[in-house]
């Protein structure tokens, strides 16, 4: 179901940008498997450079992309960090081209909405969506900071930065004491 929504959106964006079609068309017939938690999405490149749902029983995917478990949170808080935390394996050329296309695809949502309802309402909807996105991003950051603070200070599940530095200093002191003790024992 997710793939049925994702493929048309991606194809709409790819279809408006010739460089993306050219880059993907070189890999016609190749499949990419994208995994996140228990979700697996198979995408195949067609002869015209567009994307289609991949078939499970066909050949193994040329590229496997494993998204991090916190991808939804990263998408909200810091979208650019998803690419650095993603594990990619398989055909290097295909992976590189997919990476380039996914990083540089531009979605002109406001332009698409303007075709349906006009420029002014589309602009207002675009601004409202941008404001909502910023609000959601800030709320997620605050929620993450509060959760981290709770886990460190109240629940004691995690070490804070201060306690971590103290622990590191204690370990260094213990290491130095052990080295001095070994030297003393060596002299006996």
pLDDT for the residue numbered 1: 61
Domain ranges of the chain: 2-104, 109-157, 161-188
**CA pair distance 63, 102, nearest whole angstrom:** 14
**Rg (alpha carbons) of the chain, rounded to whole number:** 25
pLDDT for the residue numbered 81: 79
Mean pLDDT on 45-61: 84
Q: Fold for domain 2-104?
A: Nonspecific Lipid-transfer Protein; Chain A (3.30.1050)
Determine if the pTM surpasses 0.85: no
Whether the predicted pLDDT of 57 surpasses 70: no
The DSSP code for 160 is: -
**pLDDT tens digits along 125-134:** 989 988 988 8
**pLDDT tens digits along 63-99:** 998 988 877 777 777 777 787 788 889 989 999 998 8
Q: Give the H or E element holding residue 66.
A: strand 63-66
Mean pLDDT on 5-32: 88
Distance of CA 107 to the CA centre of its chain: 17
Q: Kindly report which listed range (49-53, 89-93, 160-164, 174-178) carries the lowest average pLDDT score.
A: 160-164
Whether the predicted pLDDT of 139 surpasses 80: yes
Beta strand extents in 55-181 (DSSP E only)? 63-66, 87-90
State the number of CA atoms in the 13 A half-sphere of 152 facing the CB. Answer: 12
List the beta bridge partners of residue 184: none
């Amino acid at each position: 179901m997710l793939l049925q929504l994702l493929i048309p959106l991606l194809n709409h964006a790819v279809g408006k940008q010739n460089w993306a079609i050219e880059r993907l068309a070189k890999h016609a017939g190749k499949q990419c498997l994208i995994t996140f938690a228990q979700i697996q999405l198979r995408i195949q490149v067609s002869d015209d450079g567009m994307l289609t749902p991949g078939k499970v029983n066909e050949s193994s995917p040329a590229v496997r992309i494993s998204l991090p478990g916190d991808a939804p949170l990263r998408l909200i808080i810091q979208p650019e960090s998803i690419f650095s935390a993603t594990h990619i394996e398989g055909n290097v050329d295909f992976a590189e081209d997919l990476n380039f296309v996914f990083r540089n695809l531009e979605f002109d949502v406001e332009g698409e909405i303007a075709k349906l309802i006009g420029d002014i309402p589309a602009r207002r909807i675009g601004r409202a969506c941008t404001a909502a996105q910023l609000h959601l991003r800030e709320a997620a950051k605050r929620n993450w900071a509060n959760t981290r603070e709770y886990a460190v200070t109240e629940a004691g599940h995690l070490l804070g930065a201060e306690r971590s530095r103290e622990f590191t200093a204690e370990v260094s002191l213990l290491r130095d004491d052990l080295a001095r003790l070994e030297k003393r024992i060596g002299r006996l």
